Every structure is written in structure tokens, then in C-alpha cells.
Amino acid sequence: MPPELSSPAEIVFLDRESLSPETRLRAPDFPHRLTVHDRSAPGEVAERIADADIVITNKVPVRADAIAGARRLRLIAVCATGTDMVDVAAAAARGIVVSNVRNYATDTVPEHVFALIFALRRNILAYRDSVRAGRWQTASQFCFLDHPIGDLAGATIGIVGRGSLGNAVADIARAFRIEVIFAGRKGGPAPDAPYVPFADMLRRSDIITLHLPLKPETRNLIGAAEFALMARHPILINASRGGLVDELALGDALRSGQISGAGFDVATAEPPPADHPLMGLLDLPNFILTPHVAWASSGGQQALADQLVDNIDAFWRGSPRNVVGG
């Protein structure tokens, strides 16, 4: 049976602009009125959801004060996998379901990860910038070899997080004849195969990539102490969550040569202000920052939107799915 909601149900989308205009948002399969906001400032949320039965958000925070004032709210449908922008505990206390979108990005995110890996291992940006600056015209040979180039075959990749994305990255890596190791829990007991102790992963890897949520126990998972253990001067990829890496320590590691490169698709503040630590690294040829778009291929966005509406329809039918914490 469907939940006891008003008829038609009031649905509010707080940040439709977080999806491309080409992404089709299918209408839910029950009577409803949909109010769409391209974007919502934090101070606007409480008023906008006050009479909503269902709220859709991608990155706009839905905090306890806004939840408290939303008298009819029954579902917060997160248009993403991460749910740190929602006060899940406050929602649970009111009996409000929080759902998220899962396993929709198993092509787009791993492909973006490998785009960053290729660019960094082969110094693509450094060579492009050198050619742009006229270096090829002054070369004494048919080529110039100013920047080191590393193969993927024979390298070792350390993957932190063995969910659908971590496993998809591993599948691609094996196709390139890269040795795959999965990191055990940091500070945890000695893990069983195929995991290796976290510190061993840091020491053995030529490439390290992060695929886990941001939680209190994963914040600054990689910091100065971890960079000091990276004996093979790896490249570090973070297409997961800002805050998993200490961004100031990252800058020190890049500038000192402790790591040979970094590719980030996320930051602790999005969009990052001009004085953000990652913005100060953009002059480095071995650092690439993309604007949180690893998930955003056309296919990935459409799969996300379709699953979002599937979640809403399932909730209306009385069979909630992808329930966070449930």
C-alpha cells in the first residue's frame, strides 16, 4: 500500500541544475505536483520544503532545522550515492525515509579514474604544455624527453574501497596487466586476502585510488604520515569524496616529490574558493583537478535520474528501496 501522503503528493527538487538539461527526469507514477528549483541556497531550504511530501536533493544540505519544519515530509530522495548532506539521524527520528542512488556509475567513474591515471603516468599535460610553449621546435631530435613516462603494465595499483567502483577499477586495471591490491582497514587487524594491511598498500603501490565514503573515520585518511610511507612515489587519485585526503599535506607531498602526481575530481569545498589549497596546486604539471564530473557521463546521469524516480515510485508503493541505514 502507498504511504499516507497528500493527493497529489508535493515533490520539491532543490537543485535540478546539478543534472544536465539533456538528462530526462521521468515523471513519478502517481498523482503529484513537482516544484523544480535550479539551485537552492542553504537558507532557502526550510521554506522550500515546508509543505513537501518528498524532497529531492543532490548536494543541497537538508539539515535538522529544515526537517523539523517540514510537517508532511516522508521521503528525502538523494540524487547521488553520498548522503552526508542530509541529517539522516534527524530524518530517522521523524520516521522520514532517506534513499540514495547506487551502482549507477560503474562505467563513468572508473573510466574517469583511468583518464587521470593515463594523463599522469604518461605526463600528457606536461608534454602538451611544452609543445604549446614551443619546445618541440627547439628540439635537436625528432622528439624530446623532458618528462618521465611510465607504463601501466607491470605497475601496482592500491585500491582503497572494494565496493562496486573499486571492483570496476580493479577489472580495468587487470586488463592493462596492472597488479591489483586492496587496502585493509586503516589501523585494523591484519586482513585476509585479497586485502593487504593499509600501510603495506601505501609502500607497495605505484598508483593509489580512493573509492569510499566520507565519514568521521575516513576524514584525512591520507595525510602527512601516510605520504611518508609511499616508498614508490605513486600517483594518487581521488574521484570519491573531498576530505579523504589532507589537502595541505597533498601540496607538500607533490612539491617535495614524495608522490609523482595527483588527479582529483573532488574538494573539501565545492566549488572551491580561489584560496582553496587545491587551487594553489594548479600551476603544477603533475596535478589535475576536474570539477566533480567523474560521475557525469551522459549515460551515468541518465542512469542516476532513472534510478532516482524508481526509488520514489517504490516508496509510494510502500516498498522503499535503497534506504540509507535500512
* Residue 319 exposed, middle or buried by CB count within 10 Å (0-12, 13-18, 19+): exposed
Q: How far is CA 43 from CA 55, 61, 88, 129, 172, in A?
A: 16, 10, 19, 43, 43
Count of CA atoms in the C-beta half-sphere (13 A) of 235: 27
Edge-to-edge strand order for the sheet containing 9-13?
32-36, 9-13, 54-57, 75-78, 97-99
**Which triple of cell numbers denotes residue 157?**
595499483
Catalytic residue among 48, 74, 241, 247: 241
Catalytic residue among 48, 292, 317, 321: 292
Q: How many CB atoms lie within 10 A of CB 256?
A: 9
Active-site residue flag, 241 = yes
Q: How far is CA 274 from the centre of its chain?
A: 21
H or E element in which residue 124 lies? helix 124-132
24-59 in b/e burial notation, b at 16+ Cβ within 10 A? ebeebebebebeebeebeeeebbebbeebbbbbbbb
Active-site residue flag, 270 = yes
Catalytic residue among 4, 270, 276, 317: 270
Contact 293, 286 (CB under 8 A): no
Active-site residue flag, 247 = no
Q: What is the DSSP string of 40-84?
A: --GGGHHHHHTT-SEEEESSS-B-HHHHHH-TT--EEEESSS--T
Residues designated as active site: 241, 270, 292
